[in-house]
Each structure stands twice: as C-alpha cells, then as structure tokens.
Structure 1
Amino acid sequence: MARFLLIILDVIIFLYGPDTFRAREKLNSLKEKFIREVDKSGFNLAALDGEKISIDEFNKAVATQSFLAKKRMIVARDVFKRQRNFQTEVLEILKKGKYRNGQDGNVIIFWDEKPDKRSALFKYLAGSKFKQEFELLLNNDLVKWTEARVKQKGGRINLQNASLLASKSDGNLWALANEIDKLIAMTGQGEMTKEDIEESVLFKIDDNIFNLCDAIALKNKTRALKLINDQLAAGINEIYLLTMIVRQFRILIQVRAWLDQGEGNSRSMASKLGLHPFAAQKAIPQASKYALEDLKKIYNKLLEIDVSLKLGQSGKTLLELFILEI
C-alpha cells in the first residue's frame, strides 16, 4: 500500500460517458476558466494518464501545492481502465483528502468514457456535487445539437437540412462539428443547402478511409502516408480521421471473424453484425487481406493512439509513426 501524502482538495469534478466530444468541450471550458481566473501562466495545470501513472505518482500530483497561484488543477483521464486495486487506492487517497470548501485547495477532474458504474470509486465520484454524464445524442437531440452548433458558429441551416447533416454523422460529433466548420467556411453568411451538404467531405471520406486501410494491408507506407496527409491537408479533424480509421478496422475485425467461422453470405453477415449490406460486401475483400490477429493488433494500437491524441499529442505525428511501424 502506498504511503499517502496529505492532500487538500477544493473540488472534485467528474466527467464521464461515451460522448467524448461534449465531454472534451466541457473539460476545455473548465481549463480555460482556470487559466483565465486562477493561473494565467498555466503552470499549475497538470494532466495525468490514468492508464500509465503509478499510485505514488497520482498521490504526489494531487498533493503538490500550487506555485504562485491559489490552487492547482489536475486532470486524470481513464483511471477506470485500471485494475480494481488501483481504483481502490485512488479512492482511499480522495477519502483522506482535507477539503477547504472552495478556498485554496486543488481541483481534480476525473474524465472517463466508460467507467464501471458498479465500482466503489464510481459511486464516490458520482456522489460529487460537480458531475456530468455525456450520453450519445440520438434522433431529435442530435438534430437540435446540429442546429445549435451551426448557429453558435455563425451559420444558418433549416430543420430539414440539419436533419440531413446529422443523419450522415452516425452520431459522431467530432465528425459533425468538423463538417459544420467546413460548411460555414464555404457558405459564409448564406444558408446551408441540401446540395452543399451532399457535396461535403462527410459523404466522401468513407472511400478515402477504405483506400487507406487497403494501403495498410498491403504495407504500402508511401501511399498510406500520402492518404493521411491528404486528409489532414483537406481540413479533416485529426480525432475524426482517427475515429473513422478505428471504425473501419472494427468492421474488418467483425467481418474477418465471420469469414473465419464460415457462417453464410454477406447479407446474413450484414444482418448479424448490424452493418449496411453494401458496407459488408465492400469489407469482405479487404478483410480477406488480413489475419484476424493482425487486425486485432492494429486495432489495439489505434486505441493507444486515440488516448495519446486526446491527451494532447500531435495527431499527425502519431498517425505517421503508426504507418511507419506497420
């Protein structure tokens, strides 16, 4: 058991849920508020990778006193991906903390996409006054968010076209926000039309991702690097690009496993896996180029990149290194 340092906490904030876009925006607003109102230098703002940090490092980070500011802010990401004994020690540290009720203690933010709601740590954090769950937006909520986002960014769109744009995003706000920015840049003060939306990158990127996955399968690093850099040069958000690559490899894993089991044709596979028949048919020849274990290794590496990217590392560099290492 670690030897715990004395910590003095002002506030614990808990952000969780599968909608990482809105969670990230909330986190950014909290960090900006901290820098604006507490520490303009940003020196007292720290980020912890919960998957890698030791319990002693966690304890030291939250216990360290602020420097030339009233308090520190510590952001701990993905603590719930650790084993239960690590979570238990984190909980013990928090329970032993001394609170100053809004005076000069540290602020710690926990952010997790899929916390185990049965765990003692989750129940403790969920009991915090400052918590917010971010569920995926669906149907009318997604359309309303699309309308509001366009308006917030200075654009114009009617309900019908907002619904069309939202329907093409599969609920991925990273993709949708990126496309809204591009459409506003294209339409200016004018209202977005159906034709504008149908010409958007959101409708065309699937083919580019498909070609990228083909290049990876063939170990054609030159082509893969060109495809990635072409997408980034076209203004595609790094996180969205990675999300689409992860999505395609997840589909390939499902299809490859289905092929290995020899359980039927593409239409029955599409129904069983919840894929569009066209997407399933298109994925079969690509999945055939991989062994299932190779797909799983690539997928796990992409998930590691996803964590690093959301912790602030360069998406372009991470993706290029990934290609060079295949």
Structure 2
Amino acid sequence: MIIFLYGQDTFRSKEKLRELKNKFIREIDKSGLNLIELDGEKININDFNKAVSTQSFLSKRRMIVIRNIFLAKKAVHGDLLEFLKSKKPDKSGDENIIIFFEAEPDKRTALFKYLNASKFKEEFKKLENNNLINWITKRVSEKGGKINGQNADYLASKSDGNLWALASEIDKLIAQKKDEEIGKKEIEESPLAKIADNIFNLTDAIAKQDKKLALRSIDDNLEAGMNEMYLLSMIVRQFRIIVRVKTALLNGLADNQQIAKKLGFHPFVVQKAMPQVRLYNMEKLKKIYEKLLATDLLLKSSDLNKKAIIENMVVKI
C-alpha cells in the first residue's frame, strides 16, 4: 500500500502523518519496531528495497515512512519508480505500508505523477479565507478556548496562513485568557500581530523612500528577536502581495473584495496593501524582486554581516 502526503501546509500534513503512525502502532504493531523512517535525500534503491522487503518482526506488516524523496538524485527516482511499478498488489491485507511525505514535490517528474495516481493520496494546500478562519475557530475550541468568528477572522488577517505560527499563538492566547473569550485587544497585542504590523511599517517606509524610518524599523525587528533570514522572508511576502495586487489592478479588477477573492487573500490584507501598491509600477517591482532574490542568496552564502546586508538592500531599493 502506497500513501502519498504532500503540500505546502506541513502543519496539517504532519498531523496526518502522526495520526497514521499512531494508528499503526495502536492497531498493528504496539512495539513500534516495524515502523521505519528513511531520509529520501540520502536513500539509494538498496536501502529502499531492504526496508520494504525485510520481513516484519512479530507483526503482519511494516510501515516505512520516506521523507524528501524528491531531493534524491534523478537516478534514484528512476530505480524507485521501476521498483514500485514491478511490485504486484497484495490482496491479503498484509502488505507493507509505504508513506511518501513531501512538502514541495516536483510535479513535473514521472515519480510525482506515479505517486499522485495512488488511491491513497492527499494534498495539503495552504489554507485561505474561510477555510483558515474555520481552522482557527476549530483549533481554539479543541484546545479549550473561546473565540468568535469576527476575531478568528481578525487573527487570520494577521497571519500568512502559517499554521505553525498560528497554533503557537493560539496556545498563548488561550493561556492568557483562560476561561474567557479571546478578544481583538489580545490579538492586537500578540507577537504574531506585532510582526505583521512591523513588517508592513517597514515596507511602507521603503515604498515612501523614507530610508531613515526603514533602517530604524530593521533595528526594531531585530531587537525584538527576529533573525535576518526571517525578516527578509517577511519582506518578500509583503512585496509578493504588492505584486499580485498590482497585477490584479492592471488586469481590470478594481474592487478590494474582488481582488481578495481572486487572489485568495484576506480583504483586510488587500485593503492595507493598496496604498503601497499605488506607489509602484511593475518595472520598479521587478527590480525590487531581483534585489530581494540577490539578498537572499547573499545571506545564505556570504560571511558578511547579515544586518548590513539587509540594510544595504533597503537603501538601494
């Protein structure tokens, strides 16, 4: 049996993987000795064959979890695909369970197409709009907290759909409010909301060519505990929003609600971004994007002071 779990939302995909592993231990192998995990990036076909073909120990089947197989060499993909296609289905119900777990598989590959044709596959797309609001409401309730729809909507607007960050923030808000309902005031004062506001203020200063304020904002974010790579990723996110909203405007969409629906953004995000959007043309935005990509490469590969790299980028944008 092949199970394929993939998608950008690794929070929910990892929850699903944990659920499958727990079920295997609970119902099939209480010892856990027949649950094997392999690093797909380092695997070769012999490792895979051994893991799949070795007889289970005091259990009728094994579970093999393979992460990041799409980071393996292409030759491994070919060998693996050939092996999988050669396996005959076992109708006894005793066949091993092979789980492929991926965040961002290459959908162009033959391996992806084969795995995606599996009967047991699930893609975990990033939650947006009502799906994200519903997830927040459900998560708060499951954790023993209370939140109304309006405040769940507001909390969603302060995130980029990162469920890891949201789950952590929800835990803190519930602990803070105890048996009381989570209100807008607590959300506004939360680190998640402050990060979103700080990044907006930084990109707003960049848009208005206020270098002094932009540099001060960098200092504020770093002093608050944000590292340079995360700071850059949040700046990239905001400019990605600006580019997409600008493109929507150029394509004839003028209403904020229409744009939000088309792009899968929260209406508040579009409304707040609009003043920045109107300060740029597409040519300028393309140049900024090139600078952001160059800065990302420099942060990852250079020994230069990381704060200085970010500051230099902001001054030159």
TM bucket by the smaller chain? Answer: 0.5 to 0.7
Q: Aligned pair 1:161/2:156, yes or no?
A: no
Other structure's SS at 1:181 match: helix
2:296 maps to 1:296: no
Q: Are 2:62 and 1:49 aligned?
A: no
**TM-score of the pair, normalised by structure 1:** 0.64
How far apart in 1 are the matches of 2:296 and 2:142? 44
Over the aligned positions, Cα root-mean-square deviation in angstroms equals: 3.7
The alpha carbon displacement at 1:296 in A equals: 2.6
Give the structure with higher Rg (CA): 2
Q: How does 1:252-267 map to 2 (within 5 A)?
A: none
Unaligned 5+ segments in structure 1 are: 1-10, 215-223, 232-240, 255-266, 299-326
1:111 aligns with 2:101: yes
- Which string of whole-angstrom CA distances, capped at 9 and with x for unpartnered residues, describes residues 261-304 of structure 1? xxxxxx659972799xxxx9xxx9xx9xx977541337xxxxxx
Q: What is the alpha-carbon distance in structure 1 between the residues aligned to residue 15 and residue 159 of structure 2?
A: 18
Is 1:272 the counterpart of 2:282? The answer is no
Q: CA deviation at 1:90?
A: 0.9
Question: What CA distance in whole angstroms lies between the structure 1 residues aligned with 2:57 and 2:69?
Answer: 26
Match of 2:231 in 1: 248
Residue in 1 that maps onto 2:129: 139
- Does the 8 Å CA contact 1:15/1:132 hold for their aligned counterparts? yes
1:69 aligns with 2:33: no
Partner in structure 1 of residue 175 of structure 2: 185
Identity of aligned residues (%): 51
Q: Is the 8 A contact 1:253 1:292 kept in 2?
A: no
Q: How many residues align?
A: 242
Distance across 2 between alignment mates of 1:171 and 1:191: 22
CA drift of 1:56 comes to: 1.5
Gaps of 5+ in 2: 203-214, 216-221, 238-278, 303-317
Q: Confirm or deny: 8 A CA contact 1:44 1:66 kept in the other structure.
A: yes
Matched, 1:36 2:44: no
Task: Check whether the contact 2:5–2:100 (CA below 8 A) recurs between aligned residues.
Answer: yes
2: CA distance, partners of 1:129 / 1:165: 36
Contact kept? 2:41, 2:72, Cα under 8 Å: yes
Contact 1:15 1:109 in 2 (8 A): yes
What is residue 195 of structure 1 aligned with on the other side? 185
Cα distance, 1:47 vs. partner? 1.2
Q: Output the amino acid matched with 1:272.
A: L
* Partner SS for 2:64: strand
Query: Do the aligned partners of 1:253 and 1:296 also contact (CA within 8 Å) in 2?
Result: no
Q: What's the CA shift for 1:16? A: 1.0
Instruction: List per-residue Cα deviations over 1:154-211 (Å, max 9, x = no partner).
Output: 2111111001111112110110111111111221221111111112221345779x9x
Distance, in Å, in 2 between the alignment partners of 1:35 and 1:274 is 53
Give the conservation status (yes or no) of the 8 Å contact 1:253–1:295: no
**Could you tell me how far 1:85 is from its partner in structure 2?**
2.4
Change (3 A) 1:22 1:198: same
1:89 equivalenced with 2:79 (yes/no): yes
> For residues 273 and 171 of structure 1, what CA distance do their matches in structure 2 show?
25
